[in-house]
Structure 1
Amino acid sequence: MPQKAVAQTDTIPAQGKRWFKKFNTYVDSLKSRRYRDSVLFKLSRHNDPPPSTDDSSMIRSEQGFLPHTGKTIRRIYYRRVKVFGPRNINDTTFTTSMQLIHLANRLHFDSEEWLIRQSLFFRERDTVNAYEFADNERYLRNRPFIQDARILMVVTPFSDSVDVMVVTKDVFEYGLDLREASTTAVAAKVFNNNLFGAGQGLMFGFRWNNAFARPWGTEARYTKYNILGTFVDAAVGYTNLNTQLPLDSNVYEGSYYLQVERPLYRNSAKFAGGFSLSRNYSINIYGQPDSIFRDYAYKVLDVWTGYSFLNRFRNDGESENKANLAILGRYFNLKFDKNPSQPAFIKDPIYNNRHYYLGQLLLFKQDFFKTHQFFGFGRTEDIPYGYRMGLSAGWENWMDRKRFYTGLEGEKYWHTRLNGLLSIGGGISSFWQKNISEDMVISAKAAYYSRLMRFWKGAFRLFVNIDYLGNPNNYFYKPLDINMERGIWGYRDTKVSGFHRINLRSEGVYYSPWKIYGFKFNLFASVQASQVSFKNNYLLENPVYTGYGLGVRIRNENLQLNTFKLGAYYYPDAPPGQRNVYFEITTVVDFRFDIFAMRAPSFLQFR
């Protein structure tokens, strides 16, 4: 009997249909809550600090390098830890088959090896200098595109040499800052702080507000870090969003600017300096009539330089027990192209030309500790200790009034026996007109940061600071207020002001163990008190204004996002115009100690 023919199936499956089926299965799996949460959890694992036997410890930055001082550097190796995945910079064993994690890491350009090499203070065949290595690790860690950095000594078979491993972990290069969002106003900026992994930043921002006469506004900035290995940073940009520091309150400004700076990137460096150029102008954002709107434009040139001619760090890697001595100079010129036409502002010092020359003799001795959970959420933080004292003198011409200036200021940090940090600072300055003192400023401040204490599976630290600012013979200077960071946080546009002010603030921070998709939670409770010579020239006879606050700060240190803050404040003795209760939902910039001992000399601030 004839057999019935049967069609043979292809031994190779149809790839197109099978790929489509896999894709549908993958999409369905993403809908699974368990799978989605596990992906986000693994994606957000990031720079948790390595375990420590003493969670309150502060380690001297150079401590790990001292045993290798004087050894020859044979080779330098580089390892770049992926942004997403490893729990911390020391995690060398992390592997994953999660495609979403690989995709997220591919969206990020790791810092190029040549960029890290340009940022090193040493080369192969140099000898190990413990203080130089500590400075270099700190410099890398404080680049805006690097989350953490380690310089590791690799033992070789030869007792007189070592290999060096430079380990870096980037911050995710893309960032978003949503400043405002409502049905009538939106303001945001997007940025990339390490474009193509080449140490360059690009930012674009916009604002739309239906209540403004000019609803739309934009800003843009380009930044290049460490140009050609010179440790010079430069930025150029424009803004019409009032993001540069405006001249006065109740004004709205735009600006075109160029900024160049070379910091004292290591303690043994000799030169530091910088300059900025800008053209600034007022914008009638509120649609005010010509009789009210302050129509003005001005240019600013600001140049400074410094040279450290006595240095305690020797070429052989040893450090002497003496201070560095430096001389600094600054020239500042603010010139109006157009002044406000209103009679009230014609003789106002703020809206008139000003230029000054300022010199400073600076004595400083600065070292650092490494720790964590200070102002951050777990990242490695560099805490200064030591002192700096500056003696300043200069000449100012403001409204064609020439005045001589003298000033003395200083600050000292101590690492206490209880593993805390204490700082005390102060200063006194005055302008002189025909041997008569004007605009004298007296400043005093103290701050204490407690040790880190284990508490409820998390950690706790207490911050306390007090400051006094006074001006007994004002001429150009305007009264002090107690609004926001200048007095009571949450006070806005209060009329309480005077020429003497004292502030007391205390805040307890609980670094919780909670983490959701990499976002960590720091709870805080604060007490604030402020007193200003408002009703009586004798400061202590004036009312004391107080505030009490509770809240939480939320941050993922793996991402280029500002810290998210929610707070509630109560003011039992609020002045007229200020509510007794204030709720806050905002973002705040990450705070860090200033690691550069030499900076542009300035007048003792009165604001």
Structure 2
Amino acid sequence: MFCSHHFFRCLPLACLIGLLLLLVEVCQAQQATPPLQQDSTLTDTTKQKFDDRVMENLRQMSERKTIMGKLLKAVLVFDRGGEEVYGLDAELIEKEYEKHTYKIVRRIDFMGMKPFGYSVHDTTKAPKNFFEKAGNSLHMRTGRGLIRNKLLFEKDAPLEPLALVESERLLRQTRYILDARIIVNEETTTEDSVDVFVITRDIFSLGGSGSLDPSSGRGRITLRELNFLGQGHQVEGSYRFGITTRPRPWEAAGYYTIENIGRTYITADMAYVDKNFYKEKSVLLRREFFSTNTRYAGALGVNWIEQRIMLAPTSEDTIARYANLGYNQQDVWLGRSFRFKSYNLGYEPRSRLILGLRFTRTDYSIKPSDSFQDNTLVMGSLGYSIRKYYKDRYLFGFGRTEDIPTGTLLSLTTGYEEGDLRDRKYFGASVSMAKYQTDFGYLYGKASYGSFVRDSQWEQGVLQLETLYFTKLSEWGNWKLRQFFWGRGTWGINRNPEELLSINDESGLRGFRSTLLRGSRRVALNYEANLYTPFSLFGFKLATVVFADFAWLSSQSESSPFKGAPYRGYGVGLRFRNEYLSFSTIQFSLSYYPQLPINEEIKAFRIFNTSRPYYDFQDFQFTRPGVADFY
């Protein structure tokens, strides 16, 4: 679907005005509705819920023969009954089927559902209207073999602890699966065997987006297929054209992923990016610690990258200064997980001890300074991980089942870099943990430090602190509220001049864009409140968003980023989400920035749109040994 930039800029304002007019109409409808005749002997003391009153008034308005009535009848869905969801009592997922541990799997049955009109919690539901049926006719259902390859249990084999719930979680985390349930048939279960039923529901995997500015001829088109021919292959391509502010008027990028090749859980990623200031060709084979029971993980990859990096700005600069960087990198790593011995036959301990070894070779073809050297880096890590999962809803989705990771992850990393100019050692440490309770919410915290050491001098060091908290879900009928608090701090220690931090978008202030505002120490605080409404618009559920962002930034010469006043951003937004589509989330936001850099022309008000959540969970799976990130 193609839209002009002017349309995208005006749509949020139009939506806000439309909602205000709609609320006025609802209030007028409430006032105009005559009171019901009450029986003299009976008094109804039950008060109708607010959202029920609103929906009933909207239903009455939709029956009127007016333009507003016809519009409401066309776009609103009034018979959206609440779907009963099981297993969301916030118990540890492992407790659901622990009584079936080590029984023989006698039979596995599969039910694969197309995206529209079906439910994994009520298998009697079916598509009703033309649009649901038409959408399903364009979708190819995920192959049964692809689903079977995700399962951690097999027919005629003992059922290992955690196998059922971990398999269900892995299916839900797959990009082309919307939701999944794995059920034990209790009616046919015996003392030594079980029958298992696997139910999955697909996402409508074909999607895309685009934009066009008729005045300049500038535009963009993106197409993606997350489940090509139902075999799990993921293809995405994008093309930009009509660019007048770059040396070349077009840019292109393509990505291809083959997931879980032959039930080895090895994934192949390929990328080709040809932009004006960034070029990449890369191939990567990877296998992660996808499950608690995974013993081996690793990766093998190679990439060629050319990019333009920003040089350290001075206070007098009014335009940014850049330099070119080009390099080729070969990367290989291997990890091994060891489980602790358990003397309880029906219990699988979640804790693991992990060892990792990584080898990286980097050759620079373009160097902006001597800070970059051809090098060989060998790194080793020792980690301790405890991974647990809970189930909940209305976190990043609009009602679908979501898995909340909790646990602890400790890691120690050491390495040695041999370069053509200098040699140096590396030391790093990281600790993270998270807790979840239904009456409290979710709390996550992380602290990490890493630095190179050369001739007793610590260089390119970074200290990072992070915390994420979201409240429990507050409910008023079909209206639901969840609040998020996110804090991050990054302190660079003796960093290279080309290594700079910003506070743009995900780094600090959402929607904010500055070219010259850079530093080596940053602190960001973010708040967001999401109000989920019972309204549905063309299959897209609606939520309202209110947010406030604060960010402090300082240069390397300053000891603390808190010496100056923080940069701030305040905003409101509308979020539309259709769980069944690959491009599921659309959010339009209006933001205000009261403090701006004095040497840049940046607008205090900005309307912007995004298609991904601002927050995300950090899983507690061990990853490859590496240098601490600084971005």
TM-score, scaled to structure 1: 0.82
Contact kept? 2:181, 2:198, Cα under 8 Å: yes
CA gap of 1:595–1:293, structure 2 versus 1, over 3 A, is closer
Q: Residues 398 and 519 (structure 1 numbering): CA distance in 2 closer, same or farther, change over 3 Å?
A: farther
Q: Does 1:152 align with 2:186?
A: no
Q: What residue ranges of structure 1 are gaps of 5+ in the alignment? A: 1-32, 243-251, 285-291
> Is it true that 1:235 corresponds to 2:264 in the alignment?
no
Partner of 2:282: 257
Map 1:243-282 to 2 at 5 A. Answer: 252-281=277-306
Offset of residue 263 of structure 1: 1.3
Structure 1 residue aligned with 2:206, among 174, 193, 217?
174
Deviations 1:350-397 (A, max 9, x none): 5x5344222110111011011111122222111111100110001124
Alignment of 1:332 onto 2:356 = no
Counterpart pick for 1:299 among 312, 328, 332: 328
Residues 304 and 330, structure 1, Cα contact 8 Å, conserved in 2: yes
How far residue 213 of structure 1 moved from its aligned partner, in angstroms, is 3.7
Q: How far, CA to CA, are the matches of 1:414 and 1:456 in structure 2? A: 27
C-alpha distance 58-494 of structure 1, shift in aligned 2 (>3 A): farther
Aligned to 1:600: 624
**Which shows bigger deviation, 228-237 or 469-478?**
469-478
Count of residue correspondences: 548
Secondary structure of 2:397's match? Answer: coil
Evaluate the alpha carbon distance shift between residue 201 and residue 240 of structure 1 in structure 2; reply closer, same or farther with a 3 A threshold: same
Q: 2:217 aligns with which of 154, 166, 184?
A: 184
Q: Distance in 1 between matches of 2:440 and 2:388?
A: 16
CA contact (8 A) 1:191 1:204 kept: yes
Structure 1 residue 83, shift from structure 2 partner:
1.3
Tell me the residue number matched to 1:367.
Answer: 388
Alignment of 1:569-580 (within 5 A): 569-576=591-598, 577=600, 578-580=602-604
Amino acid at match of 1:427: S
Q: CA–CA distance in 1 between the matches of 2:74 and 2:108?
A: 35
CA contact (8 A) 2:406 2:620 kept: no
Aligned partner of 1:544 in structure 2 is 566
1:421 aligns with 442
Aligned to 2:38: none
Q: Give, in whole Å, the separation in 2 of the partners of 1:447 and 1:318.
A: 30
> Does residue 132 of structure 2 align to residue 105 of structure 1?
no
Q: Deviations over 1:291-347 (max 9, x none)?
A: x99666432222222111234678955223x7311011222222133x26xxxx2x2
CA gap of 1:605–1:100, structure 2 versus 1, over 3 A, is closer
Partner in structure 1 of residue 162 of structure 2: 131
Q: 1:283 to 1:367 in 2, by over 3 A?
A: closer
The counterpart of 1:67, out of the listed 96, 99, 106, is: 99
Select the residue among 479, 497, 504 that pairs with 2:525: 504
Deviation at 1:484, TM superposition (A): 2.2
The alpha-carbon deviation at position 77 of structure 1 amounts to 0.3
1:7 alignment partner in structure 2: none
**Kept after mapping to 2: 8 A contact 1:185/1:208:** yes
- Give SS of 1:62's match: helix
**Offset, 1:593:** 2.8
- What is the Cα deviation at residue 471 of structure 1? 2.7
Equivalents in 1 of 2:300, 2:492: separation in Å? 30
CA drift of 1:126 comes to 2.3
For the 8 Å contact 1:49–1:379, the answer to whether it is kept is no
> Are the aligned partners of 2:383 and 2:409 in contact in 1 as well (CA < 8 Å)?
yes
Residue segments in structure 2 that go unaligned for 5+ positions in a row: 1-67, 310-320
1:265 Cα offset (Å): 1.9
Q: Which letter does structure 1 place at the counterpart of 2:230?
A: G
1:399-457 CA distances to partner (integer Å, 9 max, x unpaired)? Answer: 62211011111100012462411111102222111122223322222221111111463
Give the % identical residues: 26
- CA spacing shift, 1:166–1:133, aligned 2, 3 Å: same
Supply the RMSD in Å over aligned alpha carbons.
3.2
| Residue of 605, 609, 615 corresponding to 1:581 | 605
Change (3 A) 1:375 1:96: closer
Question: 2:161–2:348: 8 Å Cα contact kept in structure 1?
Answer: no
Query: What is the alpha-carbon distance in structure 2 between the residues aligned to residue 295 and residue 149 of structure 1?
Result: 47
Shift of 1:51: 4.7
Q: State how far apart, in whole Å, the 1-side matches of 2:429 and 2:308 are.
A: 38
Which of the residues 424, 437, 447 maps onto 2:468?
A: 447
Inter-CA distance 500–59: structure 2 relative to 1 (3 Å threshold): same
Match 1:221 to one of 227, 252, 255: 255
Distance 1:281 1:349 in 2: 17
539-548 or 387-396: bigger deviation: 539-548
Mapped to 2, the partners of 1:203 and 1:195 lie a distance apart of 11
- One-letter identity of the residue aligned with 1:308: S
Change (3 A) 1:555 1:175: same
C-alpha separation between the residues in 1 aligned to 2:288 and 2:120?
A: 26
* Range with greater deviation from structure 2 (274-283 or 136-145): 274-283
Matched residue, 2:587:
565
Distance change (3 Å), C-alpha of 1:59 and 1:371: farther
Deviation at 1:283, TM superposition (A): 9.2
- 1:197 pairs with one of 191, 215, 230: 230
What residue identity is the alignment partner of 1:508? A
466, 469, 481: which one aligns with 2:490: 469
Conserved in 2, the CA contact under 8 Å of 1:46 and 1:85?
Answer: no
Bigger Cα displacement from structure 2, 472-481 vs 360-369: 472-481
Equivalent residues of 2:570, 2:593 under 8 A apart = yes
Deviations 1:10-48 (CA, angstroms, capped at 9, x unpaired): xxxxxxxxxxxxxxxxxxxxxxx9999999889x99997
How far does residue 157 in structure 1 lie from its aligned partner after superposition? 5.8
Mapped to 1, the partners of 2:127 and 2:518 lie a distance apart of 59
Q: Would the alpha carbon gap of residues 361 and 101 (structure 1) be closer, same or farther in structure 2, given more than 3 Å must change?
A: same
Match of 2:109 among 77, 80, 86: 77
- Structure 1 residues 267-276 or 125-134, which shifts more? 125-134
Q: Which whole-Å deviations, capped at 9, do the CAs of 1:486-508 have from their partners, x for residues lacking one? A: 22223322534433322211111
Aligned equivalents of 2:257 and 2:80: distance in 1? 27
| 1:89 matches 2:116 | no
Q: Give the secondary-structure state (helix, strand or coil) at the position aligned to 2:229.
A: helix
Q: How far apart, in 2, do the equivalents of 1:171 and 1:178 lie?
A: 20
Q: Distance in 1 between matches of 2:457 and 2:396?
A: 44
- Give the residue type in structure 2 aligned to 1:374: L
1:265-305 C-alpha deviation (Å, 9 max, x unpaired): 21011101112212233599xxxxxxx99666432222222
How has the CA–CA distance of structure 1 residues 312 and 91 changed in structure 2, closer, same or farther, with 3 Å as cutoff?
A: farther
Q: Hey, what's the Cα distance between the residues in 2 that align with 1:127 and 1:583? A: 56
Distance 1:126 1:166 in 2: 17
The amino acid of 2:360's aligned partner reads F
The question of whether the paired residues in 2 share the 8 Å contact of 1:416 and 1:422 is answered with: no
Deviation at 1:529, TM superposition (A): 1.4
Matched, 1:323 2:347: no
Letter of the aligned partner of 2:379 in structure 1? L
Q: Counterpart in 2 of 1:12?
A: none
For residues 98 and 506 of structure 1, what CA distance do their matches in structure 2 show?
A: 40
